[in-house]
């Protein structure tokens, strides 16, 4: 056996999996958006399996709070760009494949061009805006999307928008037409057991391999639910064909942000007003001052009484960004800002 195929001999020994099947993997182009708890294990196994081209899209840097579940990274890499670190490590893991870093935030302005170079997309993102954007873009581009999501002890996996006999399987909006993001904390705020991230990320990689090699039954038209506490799982059937009509992308809303360093300097100069949009329990544990209005109460309780720019903060920057989006509509001529990275970044960088 050739040395480059010897590496894959164990998977090529599988029933129905031969050199031709391995060629399908070698010729495949997969885009992974987000190298967090899901993207890290998924990328490692897809690289190991011999997917010929892996694109890694991420605009974030490694932080100490990532390390318990983002298994590609080490403390020495804190502050470095995730996409670059991931590609460098995965290239060393498998020199026979091509790694393409995309150090950017995926938005409505660049997502369609980004997708053109790939056969399918793996969703490793951690927020609803990104998930809806990827879903809608893949529908418009006619490409499958391997979805994964985790929260606390529970995870979900599905494959959206698979073309079958001239029609497409359901997509994210068939299951979740829209979600109030303010009511669902992310991993930083609600917590997640690290092993669940590995489980769901590996399951996503498994769906990618099944789809590329045309082996097994991919999770199209259904969703796998996993409970890491009980180790129980079940599959929910969604349907064979999508019932949604997506004709355009929603424009990505850009939220003005301020870094922890800039905020600290601004507070010392009394340039900003602060609003904490976390829960009461989070507020009692630690705060950096300002008025406290939980995000769920913001619409009723927030009243603009200052001429200064208002900086909203939470644990990770997700809820504060949502606060800015809401209040920019109410006060279009006033400056509303989100603390970039939230208190997590504040504590790590100051």
- Among residues 161, 55, 167, 60, the alpha carbon closest in space to that of 113 is found at 55
Task: In whole angstroms, give the CA distance from residue 121 to residue 246.
Answer: 18
User: E-assigned strands of the chain?
Assistant: 29-33, 53-57, 98-102, 120-123, 145-151, 154-160, 163-164, 167-168, 222-227, 232-237, 257-258, 273-276, 291-292, 310-313, 336-339
Distance, in Å, from the CA atom of 174 to the CA atom of 165, rounded to the nearest integer, reads: 19
Query: Of 40, 87, 138, 187, which residue is the catalytic one?
Result: 187
CA separation for the pair 249, 302 (Å, rounded): 31
- Is 202 labeled as catalytic in the residue annotation? no
What is the DSSP code string of 197-261?
HHHHHHHHHHHHHHHHHT-S---BTEEEEEETTTTEEEEEE--SS------SPPPPPPPPEE-HH
**Rounded alpha-carbon distances, angstroms, from residue 199 to 53, 92, 118, 236:** 23, 23, 24, 18
State the Cα–Cα distance between residues 262 and 339, nearest whole angstrom. Answer: 10
Residue 315 has which token pair? Answer: 């644990």
List phi, psi (to 5°) of 26: -60, -30
Q: Which of 40, 87, 138, 314 is catalytic?
A: 314
As a dihedral over the C-alpha atoms of residue 90, residue 59, residue 287, residue 328, rounded to 10 degrees, the angle is: -160
314 is catalytic: yes
Catalytically annotated residues: 187, 314
């Amino acid at each position: 056996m050739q040395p480059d195929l010897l590496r894959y001999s164990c998977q090529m020994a599988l029933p129905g999996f031969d050199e031709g099947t391995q060629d399908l993997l070698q010729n495949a182009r997969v885009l992974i958006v987000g190298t967090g708890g899901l993207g890290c294990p998924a990328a490692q196994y897809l690289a190991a399996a011999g997917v010929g081209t892996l694109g890694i899209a991420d605009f974030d840097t490694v932080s100490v709070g990532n390390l318990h579940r983002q298994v590609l990274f080490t403390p020495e890499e804190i502050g470095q760009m995730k996409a670059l670190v991931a590609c460098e490590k995965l290239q060393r893991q498998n020199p026979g494949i091509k790694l393409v870093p995309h150090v950017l935030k995926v938005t409505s302005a660049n997502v369609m061009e980004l997708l053109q170079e790939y056969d399918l997309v793996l969703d490793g993102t951690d927020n609803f805006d990104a998930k809806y954007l990827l879903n809608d873009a893949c529908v418009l581009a006619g490409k499958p999307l391997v979805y994964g999501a985790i929260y606390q002890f529970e995870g979900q996996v599905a494959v959206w928008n698979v073309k079958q006999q001239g029609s497409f399987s359901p997509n994210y909006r068939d299951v979740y037409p829209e979600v109030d993001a303010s009511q669902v904390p992310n991993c930083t705020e609600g917590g997640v057991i690290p092993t669940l991230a590995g489980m769901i990320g590996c399951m996503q990689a498994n769906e990618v391999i099944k789809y590329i090699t045309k082996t097994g039954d991919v999770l199209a038209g259904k969703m796998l639910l996993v409970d890491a506490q009980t180790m129980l799982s079940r599959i929910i059937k969604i349907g064979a064909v999508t019932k949604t009509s997506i004709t355009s992308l929603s424009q990505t809303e850009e939220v003005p942000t301020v870094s922890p360093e800039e905020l600290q300097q601004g507070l010392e100069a009394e340039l900003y007003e602060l609003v904490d949009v976390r829960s009461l329990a989070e507020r009692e544990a630690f705060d950096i001052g300002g008025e406290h209005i939980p995000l769920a109460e913001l619409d009723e309780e927030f009243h603009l009484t200052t001429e200064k720019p208002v900086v909203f903060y939470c644990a990770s920057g997700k809820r504060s960004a949502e606060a800015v989006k809401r209040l920019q509509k109410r006060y279009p001529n006033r400056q509303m800002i989100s603390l970039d990275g939230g208190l997590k970044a504040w504590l790590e960088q100051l």
